[in-house]
Chain A
Amino acid sequence: MPEQPSILIIENDRTLVVALRDAMAAAGFQVLTAASGEEGLAAAREHRPDLITLDLMLGELTGLDVLRELRRDPEWGKLVPVIILTSVPYLQNMEETKKLAEKIMAKSDFEIPELIDAIRNLLSAPPAMPIGSTPD
């Protein structure tokens, strides 16, 4: 792990991206951002961040699509911690999303410090943890 862990924010609301980007940078992370699923997937593969925060409502390629694609990667993508940051009180594929992501947070009531704590927790956890078994 490098000295400054890198975070990739995949989110299409520009205002929220900037808020998270700068708050995370202030907390000592290296931050990458992507505004769509396609862009996010490309950035993830290229830069291999230490953690990804992912929105579900993204466009043609949804957050869940991105997540599935990532987990298909046998090495890095399978293990990279993903925090889902979503507003959709959705029922579709909830089980699958829960299984594939480390943590799900609701956009409507989350605090930035809470998100940063969650990121720190996930980053300090043993790196080779089996997916889906992390206690919150």
Chain B
Amino acid sequence: MLHTRPMPFLKKLWYNYALSNLPLKPGSLGYSRTLFINIFSAIGFCVELSFGLLNLNSGYFSAAAVEIGAASVMFANLMALRHHGKINAAARLLLVASAAPLMTMLLTNTPYNTGIFWLPAFPIAAYLILGKRQGSTALLILMLVIGTMSLFESLQLVDLAYSYVSIRQMIISLLILAVLMYVHENLREQGLQLAEERAIAFRAAYQKVRQTEKARDEFTATLAHELRNSFVAIQKLAETWRSQLNTITPKKSREYIDLIHQSSTDNLGTINSLLDIVNIEQATFTVNKRLGSLRDIIRQQVGLFTPQAEQAGVTLDVVFDDEIPWQLPIDTFRIKEVLANLISNAIKHTARGNTATVQAIKAVNADHLFERAKELKLKWFMSPEDPKLHGLKDFVWLGVSHAEAGLHREDIPKLFKKFSRLQPKDQLHPPQGHGLGLYIIRRIIESHSGTYGVASRASQGVTFYVTLPVEEPSPKITHA
């Protein structure tokens, strides 16, 4: 089981100190830490350099090399910090320069452990050739070598009775090795933590993809079944009809034609919605906002749906606020689609003998919307606490309200999502509508910079609504 731990202070310090490429703001915590380490490195650099020069002067070439090497490491840190982790050209140059005394010793054949000084040349070369990451590893190895060498040398110096030099050098060597161990441990843990965080992020992303895929697969399977069933039914009806062609009464023919027509229309609607989804998912989905009349759209759509409503025994009503401007910046074609979806859903879910009402109100804000609704004596199920209405300014609210008992509170968040539908608790419960319409509404309304939502009152009814800004909010006309 993976888990995240808060990063300990020292680790954070190291992170800021050596690995972070982020520019630090003066006054921030990271900046103060970096400043502290900067000063520390600067002092270290001065001390090491002076000891190095001192040793060089005294003829302790190997000790001088160690000191100068350490000084250059300090300086490299300093430069790295100044540039927030990026070892710049100057630091690299210095690293090369630190190799120079070692080379000199080798070339002048100094009698003292000279062979070993070849080693630092490798990490320095690695730094220059491989870059920061491998270079850092190389730097660590270099420090390890220097530290170890220095320790050995200090032991040898004890033998030679240079006690002062030997003790000082021993302390420095141990310090270098201790720092090295700390850094190594930190890097390892940090690597682990990073891997852990990445694993968690990856797992979450993977889970999400899997969920979407699963939802899509189930959705596709159910939809395919529904379509097949419907076509089987049409086919069977045609067969029954054919088998009694000579005896059939006109009344029965009429019933058959109506059924075939209705089933075909439903299937066509499903397929059109599917194509819309495909369209919406691709870049070709555009919304072309021009000035259009909402009044005309409502009149037209209500007219179109009246026969269907009558057949279902549902009364289709309209409440239209006269304050709504004649022209709104909308894509007429898409808003028609939105309203058609809202109305057809309402008809499907309204019981025989009840009314579904298309409502449109102009308001300056959420409070005003409720005032206007009161003035217009609207029968709806909106709640003033609806967060989707907060912060809206100068908008048109468009909704369809109808009595419905079937909408469960826990289903509401699932609405307006792509591959979700209401209700199917298991395979044997048929879904109520295929839920594509609401997703299409959502996408269209989002492209209009509007909001969408649903409000319901238990066992009374529901209001599905959208809002549209009265004025174009940005100069952008087309949204992908």
Contact = CB atoms under 8 A, between A and B. Distances in A.
A101 B430 CA distance: 21
Nearest to B248: A22
B230 interface: yes
Interface stretch (A40-48, A55-63, A117-125): A55-63
A12 B244 CA distance: 24
Interface in B258-279: 259-260, 262-263
A88 B244 contact: no
B244 A26 contact: yes
A57 B229 CA distance: 11
A14 B259 contact: yes
A15 B430 contact: no
B407 to A, nearest CB: 15
A16 interface: yes
A13 B233 contact: yes
A59 B429 contact: yes
Contacts of B259: 14-15, 18
A127 to B, nearest CB: 29
Nearest to B430: A57
Interface string A82-98: 00000110101000000
B266 to A, nearest CB: 10
A99 interface: no
Contacts of A14: 259, 262
A12 B232 CA distance: 13
A16 B429 CA distance: 18
A52 B429 CA distance: 20
Contacts, number: 77
B22 interface: no
Contacts of A23: 236, 239-240, 243
A18 B428 contact: no
A87 B227 CA distance: 11
B256 interface: yes
B133 to A, nearest CB: 53
B408 interface: no
A37 to B, nearest CB: 10
B230 A13 contact: yes
A88 B430 CA distance: 11
Contact of A64 (B252, B428, B430): B428
A57 B230 contact: no
B228 A87 contact: yes
Interface in A1-30: 12-16, 18-20, 22-23, 26
A108 B230 CA distance: 10
Contacts of B427: 57, 88, 90, 92
A58 B426 CA distance: 12
A62 B230 contact: no
A59 B423 CA distance: 10
B236 to A, nearest CB: 4
Given A26-B243, A87-B225, A108-B228, A19 B428 contact: no
Contacts of B244: 22, 26
Interface of B: 225, 228-230, 232-234, 236-237, 239-240, 243-244, 252, 255-256, 259-260, 262-263, 426-430
8 contacts: A15-B259, A22-B240, A23-B236, A57-B430, A63-B428, A87-B225, A108-B232, A112-B236
Given A56-B428, A88-B427, A108-B229, 19 more contacts: A14-B262, A15-B230, A15-B234, A15-B236, A16-B232, A16-B236, A18-B240, A19-B239, A20-B240, A23-B236, A23-B239, A26-B240, A26-B244, A57-B427, A57-B429, A62-B428, A90-B428, A92-B428, A112-B240
